[in-house]
Amino acid sequence: TPSDPALGAAVKAADRAHVFHSWSAQGLIDPLAVAGAEGSYFWDFDGKRYLDFSSQLVNTNIGHQHPKVVAAIQEQAARLCTFAPGFAVEARSEAARLIAERTPGDLNRVFFTNGGAEAVENAVRMARLHTGRPKVLSAYRSYHGATAAAIHLTGDPRRWPSDSGAAGVVHFWAPFLYRSPFHAETEEQECERALRHLEDTIVFEGPATVAAIILETVPGTAGIMVPPPGYLAGVRAICDRYGIVFVLDEVMAGFGRTGRWFAADHWDVVPDLMTFAKGVNSGYVPLGGVAISDEIAATFEKRPYPGGLTYSGHPLACASAVATINAMAEEGIVENAARIGEEVLGPGLRELAERHPSVGEVRGTGVFWALELVRDRETREPLVPYNATGGDNAPMAAFTAACRASGLWPFVNMNRTHVVPPCTISDSEAKDGLALLDEALTVADRHTA
């Protein structure tokens, strides 16, 4: 890894002068200048390497700079960089075919977007037009994106500054046994009570006003809460009972993250619409989309769909999706994610939890794991308060700093660290990461009661 501190300083200086960063107080951030990346690693201009346990924003499922995907982008760039969505373009046709082949049930059509939030926007638009109803139900402890409908659907504090209070969104509680909104003690109770709560919410909102229910199949940023058996099938049944469109948001959980192509495959549940982005092409070129059931597609067979984007199905993005999906299939990358979860990350993280009093719970599947960090395992008091900022967040900031100092790049949200490396991660890389996490957790342990 060559080092070039002078270039690093210039990159950083121009960033600080001119780049306006997401979700940040511009004067309080210190972005790392990154020089390059490969596989599970990236490095800075001083030559310091980091094991990427975040997959960036949980999107580089195929790892950094996969050679087949890089080559496909180069070849597509030489052939046809861009073309309007109204044309049939080979890369776009093939990407849609490969996606439709893998999505569950009869999700046979794909509307392409530039990312996850636009996929959610269009899924909501389709559901409202298909049903003629105004409202959408979504869960607390969720993230669906930062555009208008998507941020209103989001069930975490990032919604608050943008909430108009008039978006036709109603929030409900989804199952989360560790911090049960229903005071349940078993998964069966949690599942049954969550379904009853959802149905009660619909009955009292007025079923004829509800267009859609949207859920992350496995909620991601909000905490990787794997739903109890029967929950998603129960939501499907409720949607069928009241003529409500069931939207699964697989932007983060899809394309191998949970050890299956789609998280919905774990429970054989088929939604009416499924949103995807991130892992579809590991974000090498921005891409997202909505996979659409035959019934909803039929609504727009004779009536125009009132939505579009200049870059819908962008050829460079679609060519990278084709190469990504083919490489994932050829190289058994989804199977690798499942195996690493079962054989290395799951057992390794549970072993860390036994030794570190700051770990309240370990949960997840595949390469999609959360560690709930707590002050006290008995009371489950979070290591930092919900939505902590500034000094209140110091214990998590210290944990994050310890990870980074050791060469591990973690994904941290509130009182949790998520272990979300690429689906391509090797056994030895995963074990190296667990060893670094072990050290950093001693820092979190200092803040326990």
**Min dist. Cβ of residue 323 to ligand PLP (A):** 20
Q: 154: number of CA atoms within 13 Å, CB side?
A: 25
Number of Cβ within 10 Å of residue 235's Cβ equals 24
Q: Indicate the residue among 89 and 252 with the shorter CB distance to ligand PLP.
A: 252
248 binds ligand PLP (CB under 6 A): no
144 binds ligand PLP (CB under 6 A): yes
Number of Cβ within 10 Å of residue 149's Cβ equals 24
441 binds ligand PLP (CB under 6 A): no
* Rounded Cα–Cα distance for residues 379 and 206 (Å): 38
**Min dist. Cβ of residue 113 to ligand PLP (A):** 9
Count of residues binding ligand PLP (CB under 6 A)?
16
Q: Are 410 and 403 in contact (CB under 8 A)?
A: yes
At 169 the three-state DSSP class reads: strand
The DSSP 8-state label assigned to residue 175 in this structure reads P
Site map 371..410 versus ligand PLP, x via CB under 6 A: ----------------------------------------
Q: Are 248 and 215 in contact (CB under 8 A)?
A: yes
Q: Indicate the residue among 216 and 372 with the shorter CB distance to ligand PLP.
A: 216
Q: Indicate the residue among 251 and 344 with the shorter CB distance to ligand PLP.
A: 251
115 binds ligand PLP (CB under 6 A): yes
Site for ligand PLP in 124-143 (CB under 6 A): 143
**Min dist. Cβ of residue 330 to ligand PLP (A):** 26
Tell me the H-state helices in 80-169.
90-102, 116-131, 148-153
Q: Are 374 and 380 in contact (CB under 8 A)?
A: yes
Q: CA geometry: angle at 418 spanning 49 and 62, to 5°?
A: 60
* Rounded Cα–Cα distance for residues 205 and 217 (Å): 23
Site for ligand PLP in 19-58 (CB under 6 A): 57
* Rounded Cα–Cα distance for residues 12 and 30 (Å): 9
365 binds ligand PLP (CB under 6 A): no
Q: Which of 39, 145, 234, 279 lies at the binding interface for ligand PLP (CB under 6 A)?
A: 145
Please identify, among the stretches 32-40, 83-91, 246-254, 349-357, the one whose residues bind ligand PLP according to the rule CB under 6 A. Answer: 246-254
The DSSP 8-state label assigned to residue 341 in this structure reads I
* Rounded Cα–Cα distance for residues 71 and 65 (Å): 10
274 binds ligand PLP (CB under 6 A): no
Block residue for tokens 């600080």: 16
251 binds ligand PLP (CB under 6 A): yes
The DSSP 8-state label assigned to residue 412 in this structure reads E
Q: Pull the structure tokens for residue 300.
A: 């727009």
262 binds ligand PLP (CB under 6 A): no
* Rounded Cα–Cα distance for residues 87 and 227 (Å): 40
Q: Which of 39, 104, 116, 256 lies at the binding interface for ligand PLP (CB under 6 A)?
A: 116
Q: Indicate the residue among 256 and 357 with the shorter CB distance to ligand PLP.
A: 256
Q: Which of 117, 184, 244, 292 lies at the binding interface for ligand PLP (CB under 6 A)?
A: 117
Please identify, among the stretches 29-37, 189-197, 245-253, 352-360, the one whose residues bind ligand PLP according to the rule CB under 6 A. Answer: 245-253
Q: Indicate the residue among 137 and 444 with the shorter CB distance to ligand PLP.
A: 137
277 binds ligand PLP (CB under 6 A): yes
249 binds ligand PLP (CB under 6 A): yes
Q: Pull the structure tokens for residue 268.
A: 């054989």
Block residue for tokens 């049903």: 131
> In angstroms, what CA-CA distances link 144 with 140, 203, 385?
11, 24, 23
**Min dist. Cβ of residue 379 to ligand PLP (A):** 29
121 binds ligand PLP (CB under 6 A): no
221 binds ligand PLP (CB under 6 A): yes
Residue with nearest beta carbon to ligand PLP: 116
Number of Cβ within 10 Å of residue 245's Cβ equals 25
**Min dist. Cβ of residue 144 to ligand PLP (A):** 5
In order, the DSSP letters of 212-246 are: EEEEESS-TTTT--PPPTTHHHHHHHHHHHHT-EE
Please identify, among the stretches 12-20, 70-78, 115-123, 421-429, the one whose residues bind ligand PLP according to the rule CB under 6 A. Answer: 115-123
Q: Which residues form the interface with ligand PLP (CB under 6 A)?
A: 57, 115-117, 120, 143-145, 216, 220-221, 249, 251-252, 277, 288
